[in-house]
Amino acid sequence: MALSEIEIVSDSSKDNKPNTEQVVIVDVFGASAYGDLPKLIKFVEEDGASLNQPDGNGYYPLQWAALNNFADGVQYVIEHGGDVHAVDHVGQTALHWAAVRGSVAAAEVLLQNGARVEAADVNAYRTVHVAAQYGQTSFLNYIVAKYHADFDVPDNDGRTPLHWAAYKGFADTIRLLLFWDAYQGKQDKEGCTPLHWAALRGNLEACIVLIHAGTKQELMVKDNAGFTPAQIAADRGHRHISLILSNALRGHNSCWKDKGWINKVWDIGYAPVLFCIVFVCTIIFINSILFASNLVKVTAVVGLWGWTAVSLSIASLLMFVRCSSKDPGYVKTSGGINNNADAEGPLLKIDLTNTANWTGNWSQLCPTCKIIRPVRSKHCPTCKRCVEQFDHHCPWISNCVGKKNKWDFFVFLFLGLLTSLIGGVVAVHRMWTSIPALQSEESWIHHVVFQHPGAAVFLFFDSFILLAAGTLFVIQAYQIGRNITTNEYVNATRYAYLQGAQGGFHNPYNHGIVKNCSDFLIRGYTDDDEVKWPPMQQAAR
């Protein structure tokens, strides 16, 4: 498999405002590249230099100014003879060069002066291809949303911008293209889809985004050599990605999901199992611990604690049903982009910078639900919905844990922990005080298992519930104190809003343990609006 790509190499600084004092500028090309407008004016108006002639490498002043986003320089060059349609030796215009570094201001000047957004070079690369090759997501959004550039057009090798973004591993660019319904089943001349290229390069996040937004067909497509994306990943040594792709295909092909009513049972999850375990344990506790005829009579204190455990068990079951059936905080599409949609191009009419939920994080775009979701939201592949303040999908409650049911889930864990702890203590006390002195060759556990099997079954399940509920309760309490979700804690490096100025971890939602806990316990969730986000900025690539 081979890719061809035009690399634009500049001898100028990558900063928008380089230090011209350290550079000797001798011609209009250097003045354009470094944004030195006074010298550019001098070369043109005093020395008579032409702005419509290329340098020794075939590059024009307009291209250098556009590359480094000097909008005033671009405007001056155009006004004094620079041709916005001029192309270099590979057929690229100044607009192509602007796309390399996401020079939106320069591109705006070019397009306002007649530059063609669909101009193609010798490889049929258009501006959208170059923007995708360099991961300039904001620039890509700008030329598509405002100038209606074709975001799904193929180059000479049949590769669309989505192919390039997948090959380079730019997950944000992939999200944006899929958000616009870019076709991820498109095969290039080698029969490769974007997922093939992402698997080839071992781009994990790109593969995950494509898998979640795709279908079974993309996982099964074979290239001209007969390889699926999973096989290509395995062949290149990307075993983790190959495993993920294989598991995704296995999930689609699961025979259990193709059998009518069994499919419905499968979708229910483990919630009925857990409910039955807790319910049965409660019945066993009453029959084999409190009312057991072969144990000593229950005292008033033991009875009080025993029935307290039963009451807490009933309360935990009620809370379990509540957090299992409650809306975890699904992001509603009716209040999102669909209100701004029209029949011609609903997703391309959106001005992201003016959307209420938009903070400049491209991970807010859900290519599956086609919505702009709040920052801390995430698409759950199991529920197939986006959930606000997504914590995790809990198979034991068959529901996501999010903004609207996290308080219920926390209370459920607390009640479960308290119930199993009190029930276990009462059971052990009843066994210990009721069993007579044992022979030295017989252990206490052996006696309980064979003489009191009901109590043994209860203690067995109770110990697991105690361990699981206790562990989850401690984890949730710790995260509530820091105002961070399980998803954010595990995937902190994937979210730009959790990165500090120096690249380290920084949680902008952490207002201190007292406020975090009080807000959660009183309101059931924390208010994300209290965080003031900076304006959207284009990250340097």
**Residues assigned a catalytic role:** 394
Report d(CA 428, CA 455) in Å as an integer: 9
Q: Which amino acid is at 144?
A: V
Residue pair 211/178 in contact by the 8 Å Cβ criterion: no
Report d(CA 346, CA 336) in Å as an integer: 12
DSSP-based three-state secondary structure for 394: strand
SS (H, E, C) 462-474: HHHHHHHHHHHHH
Going from the C-alpha of 317 to that of each of 275, 276, 311, 312, the distances in angstroms are: 7, 10, 10, 9
Conformational region of residue 360, where left means phi above 0, alpha means psi within -120 to 50, and beta covers everything else = left
What is the residue-wise DSSP string for 397-445? TTEEE-TTTHHHHHHHHHHHHHHHHHHHHHHHHHHHHHSPPPPTTS-HH
Residue pair 101/67 in contact by the 8 Å Cβ criterion: yes
Block residue for tokens 């004094």: 80
Token couple for 337 = 């982009």
Going from the C-alpha of 356 to that of each of 4, 351, 352, 364, 365, the distances in angstroms are: 40, 10, 9, 12, 13
Token couple for 297 = 């009579």
Token couple for 246 = 């294989």
Token couple for 442 = 């017989």
Report d(CA 53, CA 58) in Å as an integer: 8
Report d(CA 80, CA 41) in Å as an integer: 10
